Amino acid sequence: MLLAIDVGNTQTVLGIYRGERLAHMWRVATNKAHTGDELRLKLCGLMQAEGLSRDMIRGVALASVVPALTLRWQDASRAEFGREPYVCTASTAGSLFRTNYANPAEIGADRVADAVAAQALYGTPVVVVDFGTATNIEVVDENGMFAGGIIAPGLETGANALFSHASRLAAIDLVDPRTAIGGSTEQAVQAGIVYGEADRVDGLVRRVFAQLGYEATVVATGGLASRVAPLSSTIDRVDPELTLQGLRMLFESHEDTVER
């Protein structure tokens, strides 16, 4: 089995693959202060709850946008499984990730994994909208090249900024208010934030289409995708495990070169 780890700024998603099938997935809060030992303990607890043992893991694939935790997850992998993890970057992705980006080292590991999986699963051209701490839009053109993308504040990031700066507005659930004209302060805020996110994504995707000169399949992923995608007119598919799938594909393409 393969352990895939996607470390984001707010949440870390872990998945266990049996071949191409995702057998287990966990979403936990990212704590940038955690040591390698603390990460091991958290991981062991999750695995033991599902009856999984360390000797079942044949490899580890890691995507991280938190440099300090990249190193600590590498330490945890070596200590727990005796394996060097495959670490996803634009350069380690090899032929699965082609780009003319001016500085590929700037491209986040999650963006690389998303682009790899989207192209393999949905063909080209394809656009990925990843709803996380940031809302990332990744563009793979009709030639299979990563053309670049858009990075904007995420749904909850924007909401938290509003709540922290507007003393009379309390935090609310970010759900569909089912009305564009709020009949209460809660509905008004939900309409502004939730509908605003869906319409912002639609507007940005249409700008992408206009620049490309053609439309593309649009795939949503990330922890908040299921809330926004039904309200969007441009999103075609929702794939919660897209980033993990990309990590699986990248690991398998590099399995012979990953140090044991």
109 is known to lie in a ligand binding site: yes
11 is known to lie in a ligand binding site: yes
160 is known to lie in a ligand binding site: no
Determine whether 110 is an active site residue. yes
238 is known to lie in a ligand binding site: no
114 is known to lie in a ligand binding site: no
12 is known to lie in a ligand binding site: yes
239 is known to lie in a ligand binding site: no
110 is known to lie in a ligand binding site: yes
Q: Which helix (H) or strand (E) holds 59?
A: strand 59-64
28 is known to lie in a ligand binding site: no
> Looking up tokens 């300090």, which residue turns up?
68
User: Which string of DSSP letters, residue by residue, matches the chain?
Assistant: -EEEEEE-SSEEEEEEEETTEEEEEEEEE--TT--HHHHHHHHHHHHHHTT--GGG--EEEEEES-HHHHHHHHHHHHHHHS-PPEE--TTTTGGG-EE--S-GGGS-HHHHHHHHHHHHHH-SSEEEEEESSEEEEEEE-TTSEEEEEEEEE-HHHHHHHHHHH-TT---------S-SS-SSHHHHHHIIIIIHHHHHHHHHHHHHHHHHTS--EEEEESTTHHHHGGG-SS--EE-TTHHHHHHHHHHHHHGGGS--
111 is known to lie in a ligand binding site: yes
6 is known to lie in a ligand binding site: yes
8 is known to lie in a ligand binding site: yes
Active-site option among 110, 114, 141, 239: 110
| Phi, psi dihedrals of residue 137, rounded to the nearest 5° | -120, 120
Q: Which residues are catalytic?
A: 110
For the annotated binding site for substrate, the residues are 101, 108-111, 185
For the annotated binding site, the residues are 6-13, 101, 108-111, 130, 133, 185
For the annotated binding site for K(+), the residues are 130
For the annotated binding site for ATP, the residues are 6-13, 133
